[in-house]
Chains A and B, each alone.
Chain A
Amino acid sequence: MFSKQLSVFIENRKGRLGEVLGVLKENDINILSLSLADTTEYGLLRIITDNPETAKKKLSDSGFSTMLTDVLIIKIPHESGSLQTLLTLLTENGINIEYMYGLSVNGEKASVVLKAEDALKAERILTENGVEFLSTDNI
């Protein structure tokens, strides 16, 4: 099961990240997880929110370049080695991971956000191996 991740292009200029967060706050959009990666010139902010469509619209209206991407939010046991098991499973099946970041959840289980090159195949392999997914509604 795929979830929508919102990517936002931000120039490396003071206050730009704050502006994005400001727009989300104004529209009561909750950030469930976020990853910010940057080069010397620009950054990409990847966000999991409770309302990706609205978030995209509001940010575009405020002058940001945005994009929605299908990602997998994967439940993993909250114990050492669980992430490695997941990665081994994917690698053995020839699936390349483009990026991945953690999503903190209370309780027994942790979860990670994952974007694979071959997203459909990744979803199939993981499902076959009994891995559970989360959606933005049930986090």
Chain B
Amino acid sequence: MIWSKEETLSRREIEEIQLSRLKETVNRVYEKVLPYKKKMDEIGLKPDDIKSLKDLSKLPFITKQDMRDTYPFGLFAVDKKELVRIHASSGTTGKPTVVGYTKNDLKTWTECVSRIACMGGASKEDIAQICFGYGMFTGALGLHYGLENIGATIVPSSTGNSEKQIMYMQDFGTSLLVATPSYALRLAEVANSMGIDPKKDLSVKIGLVGSELLTDAMRAEMHKVWGDDMKITSNYGMSELMGPGVSGECLEHCGMHINEDYFIPEIINPATGEVLPEGEKGELVVTCIKKEGLPLIRYRTKDITRLFYEPCKCGRTFCRMENPSGRSDDMLKVRGVNVFPSQIEEVILSFAELGPHYEIIVEREGYSDKLSVRVELVKSTDSFSDLEKLTANIRYKIKTVLGLDVKIILESPNTLKRFEGKAKRIIDLRNK
């Protein structure tokens, strides 16, 4: 089901809406947000210079650092009394980034999430268990209101206490699961340890996964434990832009439709800032064109992806972004080679002997970087030559993908740390 008529507008109609909303937003931030005015004045740009969508590229970028520098409310475009909600993203170093919503912003957010939930097959029949951490993080409440809006029954179970999560699923007949892909896998492990087979004993048929990359291999792994008939779609967003609901995958599995009447996406070369042509891979930059509280313009998401504009078989015309292949700041530079954890993940998941969890360790050895990958051996053997063959094959495959030699460390099942939120796969010991 397509939630709203905007999702099927023609390209011309979409662009008309985008241009008028963009002009309105630029005018407003120039007037109300001092740091924006300063940035624009520095390059001699006036709101009137934005005459077409092409002119978007003239506007300066906004980064997470800009948000930190103006902590907490410096980039807000409304008076604090207009705000009805505050969220914050976890700052791993220093202050978090703070986001604020007006009443209308919450409506927009709910609308956007309702759309992506429908794209993933959700309906009012569903019992939706939200296994995202509630609190300052936008993931849980975003999905919560969006799903409630379409009439689904919400089970706000949050994260943690996995046995209880499984009990709710069984007792309430949960049909839709909201979680990170790695927590979805973890929950299946816990169910199995309780003697419950998620495929037969639970009725979860829809998985809306987000807040972490969903690779094809990870999706296959989820199907293995949750069943082939589970509809698994990924959705995308970040608190700075709104939270979840920026884009979501439809059941055609050909990328995530961006809610283009609210957000304008661009792809840039992360090193030079230059806008790349359609279909090329680079960093996603997003402009919020219908937000009141925090209308970020040209926000650098650091996510590496591509955009496709042909209308989709599902009937929607909104452009689609590929599942990000990594983050420009998750990207590791090892011996001068760019390494995305997702590349290593694909290799690991292609081995039946290994579990889906892994950890990447980078160390400095002398003047060179050393890369090791810890993996869990789920199928044992009685012979050393099998183990040696296995590690040699993993090394060879990773070398083919990355061009780097890695050390493979085999571990027993359940040895590596499990994550309820975004999995932390990289341990970089080089600057320690």
Residues of chain A whose beta carbon lies under 8 Å from any beta carbon of chain B: 5, 7-11, 16, 37, 39, 41-42, 44, 46, 61, 63-67, 69, 98-99, 115
CB contacts (< 8 Å) of A66 on chain B: these are 380
Q: Determine, out of B80-88, B111-119, B412-420, the stretch whose residues face the partner at the interface.
A: B412-420
B382 at the interface (CB under 8 A from A): yes
B432 at the interface (CB under 8 A from A): no
CB contacts (< 8 Å) of A69 on chain B: these are 382
Query: In the assembly, what is the distance between CA of A115 and CA of B381, in Å?
Result: 13
Q: Which partner residue on chain B sits nearest A56 by CB separation?
A: B380
B412 & A46 in contact (Cβ 8 Å cutoff): no
Given contacts A10-B412, A42-B387, A42-B410, contact A65 B377 (CB under 8 A): yes
Docked complex: B397-427 residues within 8 A CB-CB of A: 409-415
Q: Which partner residue on chain B sits nearest A66 by CB separation?
A: B380
Q: What is the number of contacts between chain A and chain B, taking CB atoms within 8 Å?
A: 52
CB contacts (< 8 Å) of B379 on chain A: these are 65, 67
Interface size on B, residues (CB 8 A): 17
Query: In the assembly, what is the distance between CA of A65 and CA of B379, in Å?
Result: 6
A63 & B384 in contact (Cβ 8 Å cutoff): no
A63-B414, A99-B383 given; 8 more Cβ-contact pairs under 8 Å: A9-B377, A9-B412, A11-B415, A16-B412, A41-B410, A67-B379, A67-B380, A115-B382
CB contacts (< 8 Å) of B59 on chain A: these are none
Contact of A7 among B193, B381, B410, B411 (CB under 8 A): B381
CB contacts (< 8 Å) of B382 on chain A: these are 5, 7, 44, 46, 67, 69, 115
**Chain B 149-164 interface 0/1 with A at a Cβ cutoff of 8 Å (1 = within):** 0000000000000000
CB contacts (< 8 Å) of A115 on chain B: these are 382
B40 at the interface (CB under 8 A from A): no
CB contacts (< 8 Å) of A41 on chain B: these are 409-410
B380 & A7 in contact (Cβ 8 Å cutoff): yes
A39 & B384 in contact (Cβ 8 Å cutoff): yes
Query: In the assembly, what is the distance between CA of A10 and CA of B377, in Å?
Result: 10
A63 & B380 in contact (Cβ 8 Å cutoff): no
B412 & A63 in contact (Cβ 8 Å cutoff): yes
Docked complex: B360-405 residues within 8 A CB-CB of A: 377-384, 387
Contact of A9 among B193, B380, B409, B414 (CB under 8 A): B380
